[in-house]
Amino acid sequence: MGFLSKLAALFGPGKKKVKILVVGLDNSGKSTIIQKLKPNAEKKTAVPTVGFNMEEFEKGSLCFNVFDMSGANRYRSLWEKYYNDAEAIVFVVDTADKFRMCVVKVRMAELGMSLNRGGLADKTVSLPLKDELERMLSHAALEKVPILFFANKKDVINAMTPVECAKYLELESIQTRAWQIIHSNGLTGEGLSTGIDWLAQTLQK
Amino acid sequence: MAAEASTSGQGPGEMNTGTTERRASGGSDAAKFNEQKFWLNAFTDRVANIYARSDCICLCDVFGDHDKRLVVVDASQKKLKLWKGTTLEAELKLVDNPVALCSVYGDNSKKRIPALCVAAGPHIYIYRNLRAYYKFTLPDLAFSDKEKQVWEGLAEAKLSIEQACDQLVVLREEDPQGGNLSQRSNQLIAMSLSAGRDDMQSFVAKAKGVGIHEQTAITCICSIPKSVEDEGSQESLLVGTENGKLHVIDPVKNFEIVHTIDLPSAPVQLAATGAINVEYKVVVLGRDAKVYNVVDGQLTSHVLDLHTSPIAIICSSKFMAVGCMNKTIYFYNLAGGLVHNIYLPDHLTCMESFSTEHYSNMITVGLKNGEIRMYNEILLCSVIKLKEPIRALKFGRFGREDNTLVVTTSSGSLDIKILARAAKLKPSAATSKLLQEQVPEQDVPLNIPKKTRVYVEQTKREREKASEMHKGFQRDLCKLRLSTARAYVKSITSGQGPIWSSSEASIITNASIFGLGPDFKLEFTLENNGMKALHDLRATITFKSKGIKLERSQFNISTLLPSVQYSFLTNLRCTSSVGTEEQQLKVLISRQESCVPILSAIVKLPVVDQEEQDQEPFQQADFGASHHGMDSKADMLVMG
């Protein structure tokens, strides 16, 4: 950051804009979370998003420019079109939908393969199929971008805890970028501000 | 993370080319397909305890909340089970052993809730919101008045049991198939053969005053849209029964039978396309291994005879596929012509059609060896290998996931797989090219020349004057045969041929030349094939060329005994070049008394190299001694 831009950041009229991409499977609660995050604006009940929605809100010294992507199967290919601009990713996981967890993350244990995921993988064994998470993390444009996971729907009985979730998604193997997982409830707004604060902090570093 | 990506990061495109190459090299090598390329293992329950065929499994939006549940009716446990996601949400006890399960959207209410139809015996139990809603029963079977009279007679004691049995047997004989009597009558006939009189009397007493009410059993059910083929639009129910009837039932009109179609055989499985109010077609798999077509409520005369036992049938808007017990799937076009067949590595257990957003007309097949094979029409796309024989397959929307495959195996385990978003089920370029290469062979037209005016006129003439032309041809053929015969007779009688025959004898001659030149040896043989000996024959060798010198040109043959071959030899020499026409030598055989030769043989001299003729003087000197001996031998033979 140059001197002038620093000055501009300190005294400038506008706040620093950050572009955030909110992704996750359909029905995981992305739009609900964003509606909740918007301060005092009209609160709409979320309907399944078609394509994507754009929202803007301020948090501290940052102005969040949020792309609320649709999680529906047919729109998932849209995500990567916006990776180039994204400065942060919010990945919303429906902890109650254990059935579709495999779409988010293909587990190596289930494949019956002893793949060393620490980087020393046997190169002859090709990963059979990229899941949605893997596809995103391996994208070149998102190499250093921080990721915030919302383990959403904590109110649902029998939902996975964030620890279970992180274990399932094998988040500990992410070492090259900042990441955080927050237990949240999109309906009540529980945990959302914690997550956004972490994101703001990370982005300002 | 980036490092991981690079080690594991083969693009889906690359991986697919790998698959297709393997596929092209041999479909049987299924182990090479990596199941995980296309299918995500969403849920596995090894102890789900499901014993149900594909007919008894249904993916249905039971509560109308757009969250589709997996519904299974299990005949072994008389239970209806409901899965939501990975949890068993509900279990219902069933009254009867279920045969088939199907969901029907019936009512016009705003909130679309499908009715679950469980067929069992003659009834269909209808559940809505998972609560018992209605019980449909098939109408009573119609029995003849005569049979009713027999039972009335029995009840009023006008008839003895023996008389009644005799009359019932007579009634039974009237129908060649024997299916016209009620169960009660059949039972009485059977009892008359084995059971005691007391048993029969109590049986008759029980039936006293009770009318004959019997229903047949339901074998299969299937839903069909009424007018629009959309999810949630109104549907009708098709019901096949054991006595060979296909009923169309309207769920809106209180489950009333709208239409009934008679089938020649009991239906086993139904596959329907189209919509009842527009245009529809039901393909019926009969128990007699035949496929019947019902188009717009009418049984068509087009019947497919499979010659082998069918297991499952699929009907789409483009084709019909029948899986049979001979490990083969036959594909028919809509006109009923056999288009393709697929040979499977093991016995087929179940078959399911599926379409996704990108791929339509896909077929998935469960095999006895635990393989689940996916075909894009006829091309193998993917293979999943499980450890046990597959029992049932169901494809559809489950929960919020559109492309879900539900698999149950013989041990009762449940597997739910999700088709990955990036799955490429398209057959490879190589295989589709192969397919394309096969097809044009049949389409290339033969190079038939154009019809010229001459040709047209000729064919016209042939058509009009066929008999005259035939007669003319026959007359000419006769003439040709006659002239041939005449020429043959002439050649025999004038001695121009190698065979001579008369009433008392026949002779065959054969002449040949040996040597490379300029010195040759001429040999001719004579054989008498007749029964009598011939006497006083003369053989003369003639030639035109002056350059040929014969050692001997005349042979006197005193006797030719029957069945003995005589051979005569002479040396000859070419002294100068001989023209092609002059190369011939003729051996003429004549009888002493006449000058006309009776038979002749012609030999040709080979071309003689001029240089070799330089040695002529020396060879000539050698001539006399050696060949005189030969001649004497020949003469001796003749004499002998």
Average pLDDT, chain A: 79
Instruction: State whether residue B38 sits within 8 Å of chain A by CB.
Output: yes
3-state secondary structure at position B493: helix
CA–CA distance, B600 with B588 (Å, rounded to integer): 4
Residue B634 predicted with pLDDT over 50? no
Of the pLDDT bands very low, low, confident and very high (cuts 50, 70, 90), residue B436 is: low
Residue A115: the pLDDT is 38
| pLDDT, tens only, B487-496 | 988 877 776 7
Instruction: State whether residue B13 sits within 8 Å of chain A by CB.
Output: no
Widest pairwise Cα distance in chain A: 57
Residue B366: the pLDDT is 93
| pLDDT, tens only, A60-90 | 778 888 999 998 888 888 888 888 888 899 9
Suggest the residue from A129, A136, A137, A173 to mutate for an interface test with chain B (most B CBs closer than 10 A): A129
B308 or B23, higher pLDDT? B308
- Under a CB-based contact definition with an 8 Å cutoff, are residues A147 and A179 in contact? yes
3-state secondary structure at position A78: helix
B164 or A14, higher pLDDT? B164
> Domain B495-639: what homologous superfamily?
Immunoglobulins (2.60.40.10)
A49 or B177, higher pLDDT? A49
Instruction: State whether residue B161 sits within 8 Å of chain A by CB.
Output: no
From B29's Cα to the closest Cα of chain A, the distance in A is 18
Overall number of domains in chain A:
1
CB contact under 8 A, A117 and B38: no
Residue B509 predicted with pLDDT over 60? yes
Which range, of A147-151, B163-167, B382-386, B490-494, averages the lowest pLDDT?
Answer: B490-494
Suggest the residue from A47, A77, A99, A142 to mutate for an interface test with chain B (most B CBs closer than 10 A): A99
CB contact under 8 A, A119 and B7: yes
Angle at B138 between CA B135 and CA B144, to 5 degrees: 150
The set of residues, in sequence order, having a beta carbon less than 8 Å from that of A161 and lying 6+ positions away, is A95, A151, A183
Q: Which of A88, A103, A90 is nearest to A26 (CA)?
A: A103
Closest by Cβ to B5, choosing from A99, A102, A138: A138
Instruction: Check the annotation: does A68 bind a ligand.
Output: no
Q: List CB contacts (< 8 A) between B37 and chain A.
A: 128-129
Angle at A92 between CA B36 and CA B89, to 5 degrees: 70
Q: List CB contacts (< 8 A) between A117 and chain B.
A: 4
Residue A121 predicted with pLDDT over 60? no
Of the CA atoms within 13 Å of residue B474, those in its CB half-sphere come to: 6
Residue of B nearest to A174 (CA): B1
Residue A115: CATH number of its domain: 3.40.50.300
Of the pLDDT bands very low, low, confident and very high (cuts 50, 70, 90), residue B179 is: low
Closest by Cβ to A126, choosing from B3, B15, B416: B15
Residue B24 predicted with pLDDT over 50? no
B176 or A109, higher pLDDT? B176
Of the pLDDT bands very low, low, confident and very high (cuts 50, 70, 90), residue B434 is: low
Of the pLDDT bands very low, low, confident and very high (cuts 50, 70, 90), residue B365 is: very high
A vs B, Cβ pairs < 8 A, gives: 98
Suggest the residue from A26, A73, A117, A134 to mutate for an interface test with chain B (most B CBs closer than 10 A): A73
Residue B191: the pLDDT is 82
- Indicate the pTM of the whole model: 0.65
Instruction: Check the annotation: does A191 bind a ligand.
Output: no
Residue of B nearest to A102 (CA): B42
CB contact under 8 A, A130 and B12: yes
Instruction: State whether residue B83 sits within 8 Å of chain A by CB.
Output: no
Q: Which of A167, A188, A180 is nearest to A95 (CA)?
A: A167
Q: List CB contacts (< 8 A) between B421 and chain A.
A: 73, 76-77, 103, 132
Of the CA atoms within 13 Å of residue B117, those in its CB half-sphere come to: 29
Instruction: Check the annotation: does A116 bind a ligand.
Output: no
CB contact under 8 A, A97 and B43: no
| pLDDT, tens only, B227-257 | 887 777 888 999 999 988 999 998 888 888 9
In a domain, A8, yes or no: no
Instruction: Check the annotation: does A158 bind a ligand.
Output: no
Instruction: State whether residue A45 sits within 8 Å of chain B by CB.
Output: no
Eight-class DSSP state of B336: S
Of the CA atoms within 13 Å of residue A27, those in its CB half-sphere come to: 13
> Tokens representing A81?
């079109």
Instruction: Check the annotation: does A28 bind a ligand.
Output: yes
Which range, of B75-84, B571-580, B618-627, averages the lowest pLDDT?
Answer: B618-627
CB contact under 8 A, B2 and A143: yes
B632 or A25, higher pLDDT? A25
CB contact under 8 A, A126 and B10: yes
Instruction: State whether residue B88 sits within 8 Å of chain A by CB.
Output: no
CB contact under 8 A, B36 and A103: no
Residue B428: the pLDDT is 56
Residue of B nearest to A119 (CA): B4
- Under a CB-based contact definition with an 8 Å cutoff, are residues B587 and B531 in contact? no
Q: Which residues pair with B565 in a beta bridge?
A: B527
Instruction: Check the annotation: does A197 bind a ligand.
Output: no
Of the pLDDT bands very low, low, confident and very high (cuts 50, 70, 90), residue B284 is: very high
Residue B249: the pLDDT is 92
Instruction: Check the annotation: does A98 bind a ligand.
Output: no
Of the pLDDT bands very low, low, confident and very high (cuts 50, 70, 90), residue A92 is: very high
Instruction: State whether residue B298 sits within 8 Å of chain A by CB.
Output: no
Q: List CB contacts (< 8 A) between A102 and chain B.
A: 40-42, 418
The pairing of strands A88-94 and A62-69 is: unpaired
| Region of B220 on the Ramachandran plot (φ > 0 left; ψ -120 to 50 alpha; else beta) | beta
CB contact under 8 A, B1 and A137: yes
Q: Which residues pair with B407 in a beta bridge?
A: B393, B415
Closest by Cβ to A102, choosing from B7, B418, B421: B418
B356 phi/psi in degrees, rounded to 5: -115, -175
In a domain, A147, yes or no: yes
Residue B443: the pLDDT is 63
Instruction: Check the annotation: does A30 bind a ligand.
Output: yes
Instruction: State whether residue A200 sits within 8 Å of chain B by CB.
Output: no
CB contact under 8 A, A127 and B8: yes
Instruction: Check the annotation: does A155 bind a ligand.
Output: yes
Residue B221: the pLDDT is 94
Instruction: State whether residue B94 sits within 8 Å of chain A by CB.
Output: no
Residue B518: the pLDDT is 77
Instruction: Check the annotation: does A148 bind a ligand.
Output: no
| pLDDT, tens only, A189-203 | 888 889 988 988 888
Eight-class DSSP state of A190: B
From A15's Cα to the closest Cα of chain B, the distance in A is 32
Which range, of A81-90, B94-103, B504-513, B603-612, averages the lowest pLDDT?
Answer: B603-612
Q: What is the ipTM of this complex?
A: 0.79
Q: Concatenated DSSP letters for B149-181?
A: HHHHHHHTTSS-HHHHHHHHHHHHHHSTT---S
| pLDDT, tens only, A123-180 | 333 445 567 888 888 888 888 889 999 999 988 888 888 898 888 888 888 888 889 9
Residue B131 predicted with pLDDT over 70? yes
CA–CA distance, B514 with B196 (Å, rounded to integer): 106
- Express as a percent the part of chain B with pLDDT over 70: 83
Residue B430: the pLDDT is 56
Widest pairwise Cα distance in chain B: 137
Q: Of chain A residues 64-123, which have a CB less than 8 A from chain B? A: 73-74, 76-77, 97-100, 102-103, 106, 110-111, 115, 117, 119, 121, 123
Instruction: Check the annotation: does A60 bind a ligand.
Output: no
Which residues constitute the domain of residue A119? Answer: 15-204
CB contact under 8 A, A119 and B8: no
Of the pLDDT bands very low, low, confident and very high (cuts 50, 70, 90), residue B609 is: low
| pLDDT, tens only, B105-126 | 876 666 788 889 999 999 999 9
Residue of B nearest to A110 (CA): B41
Which range in A118-132, B9-23, B200-214, B283-297 is most confidently predicted, on average pLDDT? B283-297
Residue B627 predicted with pLDDT over 60? no
Q: List CB contacts (< 8 A) between B8 and chain A.
A: 115, 121, 126-127, 134, 138
CB contact under 8 A, B4 and A128: no
Instruction: Check the annotation: does A114 bind a ligand.
Output: no
CA–CA distance, A62 with B346 (Å, rounded to integer): 64
| pLDDT, tens only, B439-480 | 555 667 788 888 889 999 999 999 999 999 999 999 999 999
Residue B618: the pLDDT is 40
Residue B616: the pLDDT is 43
> Tokens representing B73?
């009716």
The set of residues, in sequence order, having a beta carbon less than 8 Å from that of B442 and lying 6+ positions away, is none
| Region of B521 on the Ramachandran plot (φ > 0 left; ψ -120 to 50 alpha; else beta) | beta
In a domain, A7, yes or no: no
The H or E element spanning position B293 is strand B290-295
Instruction: State whether residue A173 sits within 8 Å of chain B by CB.
Output: yes
Of the pLDDT bands very low, low, confident and very high (cuts 50, 70, 90), residue B612 is: very low
CB contact under 8 A, B8 and A110: no
Of the pLDDT bands very low, low, confident and very high (cuts 50, 70, 90), residue B283 is: very high
Residue of B nearest to A28 (CA): B400
Residue type, B230: D
3-state secondary structure at position B466: helix
Residue B21: the pLDDT is 33
Average pLDDT, chain B: 80
CB contact under 8 A, B399 and A100: yes
